[in-house]
Structure 1
Amino acid sequence: MTQRSRKLIGAFLCVISIFVWACIATSIYLMFPEGLPGLVLIVYFIVAGMGWVFPAMWIIRWMARPDERGL
């Protein structure tokens, strides 16, 4: 697979993974009980907001791999 095709696929994978992560994080937030302290919510939003970074790093690392040289 060429780097160009990996970049196309990776771009779609990044968008899809961010969308899925946002849906999961929102679903978890909606399960929280009413009246939680603000500090708990801030910590949750920081963790949930940064959670998409790890899958994106893996996808970007895969996209940036150089092409294999064939004979």
Structure 2
Amino acid sequence: MPVRLKKLIGTVLLIILVCVYALAATLFAVGHLGESSPWVHLAYFFFTGLLWILPAMGIIKWMVTEPKRR
């Protein structure tokens, strides 16, 4: 697969990942953390704010790998 195509696909996947992840994390927080203390909210959004980095790293790693030579 050409590098430019991989970067285009990876960019689109990253945008989709961020949008879907932010929506899911917020919906979960609204549904389950409504009566929690501010410290629980802070901890939840801190960890969920960092957790999306793991799948993003996988996508970025896939994007920058060189195609195998034949």
Q: Paired residue for 2:50?
A: 50
Between Structure 1 and Structure 2, the one with more helix by share is 2
Q: Paired residue for 1:27?
A: 27
Structure 1 alignment gaps of length 5 or more:
none
Cα distance in 1, alignment partners of residues 46 and 33 from structure 2: 18
Q: What's the RMSD between the two structures over aligned residues?
A: 1.2
Cα distance in 2, alignment partners of residues 44 and 24 from structure 1: 13
Cα distance in 1, alignment partners of residues 58 and 29 from structure 2: 25
Give TM-score scaled by structure 1 length: 0.88
Cα distance in 1, alignment partners of residues 60 and 54 from structure 2: 10
Paired residues in the alignment total 70
State the AA in 2 paired with 1:10: G
Shift of 1:20: 0.6
Structure 2 alignment gaps of length 5 or more:
none
Structure 1 residues 4-23: aligned runs within 5 Å: 4-23=4-23
Cα distance in 1, alignment partners of residues 12 and 33 from structure 2: 35
Shift of 1:33: 4.6
> Are the aligned partners of 1:21 and 1:51 in contact in 2 as well (CA < 8 Å)?
no
Cα distance in 2, alignment partners of residues 35 and 28 from structure 1: 13
Moved segments of 4+, more than 6 Å: none
Give the secondary-structure state (helix, strand or coil) at the position aligned to 2:68. Answer: coil
